[in-house]
């Protein structure tokens, strides 16, 4: 039986920048014995919830502070501007889908937190950031759920 404490625990684990979906979905399925669809839904929702607040935080606080006070920002801005002008057509066409693919790969440091920061540094709008990072999160959720299914069923078959 699924209880609210478990739902909140998995939801909040999904929000953490270290584990995100890679920890919450397998934990929900193996430790709490949730169904695969329920673990997927709660894990993905927990991972999607923070994207808008993080973009707001980046826009209003950090990027303005960095622009005004951090020396490295000028260097970074020059590099990004130069890269964007040299590859403008390819950048406009593929940057958003590249961001989605980056977030969809369920490896450490390739999740929604890093994707959101990268999208803001690339200058994507909040709407595009949410859409393309969110799409990557959903794909990553499918991959992690499928991998958990294969591992749990494979272990079950070999040891019973």
pLDDT of residue 23: 93
**pLDDT, mean of residues 110-134:** 87
Q: For 68-112, what is each residue's pLDDT tens digit?
A: 666 666 666 676 676 666 666 666 678 889 889 999 998 888 889
Q: What is the DSSP letter of 139?
A: H
What Å distances lie between residue 143 and 32, 83, 94, CA to CA?
20, 32, 22
The tally of CA atoms less than 13 A away on the side-chain side of residue 33 is: 2
- For residue 114, what pLDDT is reported? 86
pLDDT digits (tens, 9 = 90+) for 11-29: 999 998 888 899 999 999 9
Give me the half-sphere count of Cα atoms (radius 13 Å) on the Cβ side of residue 74. 4
pLDDT at position 71, please? 61
Residue 103's pLDDT is 92
Mean pLDDT over each residue of the chain, to the nearest integer = 84
> The whole model's pTM is what?
0.81
Percent over 70 (pLDDT), the chain: 76
Question: What's the confidence (pLDDT) of residue 88?
Answer: 60
- Distance, CA of 84 to CA of 110 (rounded, Å): 22
Give yes or no for a contact between 40 and 141, defined as CB atoms under 8 angstroms apart: yes
Q: Would you kindly state where each structural domain of the chain is located, as residue ranges?
A: 4-159
Q: Which pair of tokens denotes residue 131?
A: 């859409």
Contact yes or no for 140/115 (Cβ under 8 A): no
């Amino acid at each position: 039986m699924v209880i609210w404490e478990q739902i909140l625990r998995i939801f909040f684990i999904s929000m953490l920048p270290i584990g995100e979906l890679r920890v919450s979905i397998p934990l929900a399925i193996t430790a709490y014995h949730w169904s695969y669809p329920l673990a997927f839904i709660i894990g993905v929702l927990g991972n999607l919830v923070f994207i808008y607040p993080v973009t707001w935080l980046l826009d209003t606080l950090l990027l303005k502070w960095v622009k005004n006070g951090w020396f490295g920002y000028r260097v970074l801005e020059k590099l990004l501007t130069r890269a964007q002008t040299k590859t403008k057509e390819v950048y406009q066409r593929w940057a958003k889908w590249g961001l989605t693919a980056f977030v969809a790969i369920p490896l450490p440091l390739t999740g929604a937190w890093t994707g959101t920061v990268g999208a803001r540094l690339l200058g994507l709008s909040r709407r595009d950031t949410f859409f393309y990072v969110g799409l990557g999160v959903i794909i990553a959720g499918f991959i992690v759920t499928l991998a958990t299914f294969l591992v749990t069923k494979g272990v079950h078959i070999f040891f019973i």
